[in-house]
Amino acid sequence: MTGPAPSAPDRERMLGTGYGFGAYLLWGVLPLYFVLLAPTGPWEVVAWRVLLSLVFCALLLTVTRGWGRMAAVLRNRRLALWTAIAGVLIYVNWQTFLIATLTGHVIESSLGYFINPIVTVLLAVLVLHERLRPAQWAAIGIAAVAVAVIVIAYGSVPWISLLLSASFGFYGLVKNRIGGAVDAVSGLAIETAWLTPVAVVQLVVVAMTTGLTYGSVSILHTVMLSLAGVATAIPLLLFAAGARRVSLTTIGLLQFIAPILQFLCGVVVLGEPMPLERWIGFGIVWVALAVLSFDMVQNARRSRQAAPVADPVG
């Protein structure tokens, strides 16, 4: 005997959670996909990622008849400028991530995405002038201690982590400023279109130095490298579909899936070193994230309790 069917809002929340989970799951295992693209280097991978993402988005725009939406964005100078800034930021993020992944620094890249929620909260204060709750300030302070511990104990600044968290944090901020004025497919298409000249220059430089690997290794390698655009676009589209259906609290909690999986990929699958001082630094970051997550859940619960109840008669 089956129970009552879920209501429409419940179905939307279930769908949104599923979409969000799928997005972060794919982002979490992307390091393994890119590692399998060896001997292709990070500069060539990012160039093909940009160009093939643009091709994939063009196909989607054609199928969904979305060229009009994209043209409307480009006619708006303010939106066009924001998409150009977003393109630069996502390029920095992709290139840093690929360099880290293909040079044995997956664990350090996972730290960047663990820190990212803290960076997002900090940007809300510095740029959007939002007021933080005490627990959020505590999380920022604990995260700062974690970075200091890693710098002192491990003997080097985690530049990869900081660059990844900063670039993706500012990318999220730009997306926040754009809001719903640009849909996911049009946004990615325009961002990659801005980056196309950079990608072409990178391919020319790689061809003149180390040589291009596309089509020269094996059929399987060529197919996998050809799917770099699909691997880039699908998680983004799943994320966009999920973010429209669930609360920011749910998205905030789901986003920890990606760095956890990246961390496991680095430690368990790729066998990257994890000395004691790095465990200590990561442990402090996880404490900060636990404080932030608890505050998010508590605040969401208080908001629901404070929401006015609709008048059943009115």
Q: What 8-state DSSP symbol labels residue 65?
A: T
Of residues 105, 132, 104, the one with CA closest to residue 117? 132
Calpha distance 27→30 (Å, rounded): 5
Of residues 246, 265, 256, 264, the one with CA closest to residue 292? 256
Task: Kindly state the greatest CA–CA separation across the chain.
Answer: 75
List strand residue ranges (DSSP E) for 148-259, in order.
none
Q: Is the dihedral of CA 257, 150, 99, 81 positive or negative?
A: positive
Calpha distance 78→81 (Å, rounded): 5
Q: Which residue has the higher pLDDT, 299 or 188?
A: 188
Average pLDDT over residues 121-149: 81
- Could you give the C-alpha distances from 17 to 24, 53, 136, 190, in angstroms and in order? 11, 25, 24, 27
pLDDT band at 12; cut points 50, 70, 90: confident
Calpha distance 281→38 (Å, rounded): 30
Using a 10 angstrom Cβ sphere, with 0-12 exposed, 13-18 middle and 19 or more buried, the burial of residue 56 is buried
| Assigned token pair, 210 | 């180390």
- List pLDDT tens digits, range 52-80: 999 999 999 999 999 999 999 999 999 99
Domain ranges of the chain: 17-299
Q: Which long-range contacts (CB under 8 A, 24 or more apart) does 245-250 make?
A: 245/12, 245/13, 245/15, 245/16, 245/17, 245/19, 246/13, 246/16, 246/17, 246/20, 247/300, 249/296, 249/297, 249/299, 249/300, 250/13, 250/16, 250/17, 250/20
Q: Is the pLDDT of residue 284 over 50?
A: yes
Average pLDDT over residues 95-111: 93
Calpha distance 76→269 (Å, rounded): 46
Calpha distance 86→310 (Å, rounded): 40
Buried b (16+ CB within 10 A) or exposed e, 147-166: bebbeeeeeeebebbbbbbb
Q: Which of the listed ranges 115-119, 190-194, 232-236 does the model predict with the highest average pLDDT? A: 190-194
pTM of the model: 0.85
Of residues 135, 174, 141, 164, the one with CA closest to residue 258? 164
Collapsing DSSP states into helix, strand and coil, what is residue 306? helix
Helices (H), 127-183: 134-154, 159-178
The secondary structure element, H or E, covering residue 63 is helix 42-63
- pLDDT score at 41: 94
What angle is formed at CA 220 by the lines to CA 216 and CA 226, rounded to 5 degrees?
75
pLDDT band at 312; cut points 50, 70, 90: very low
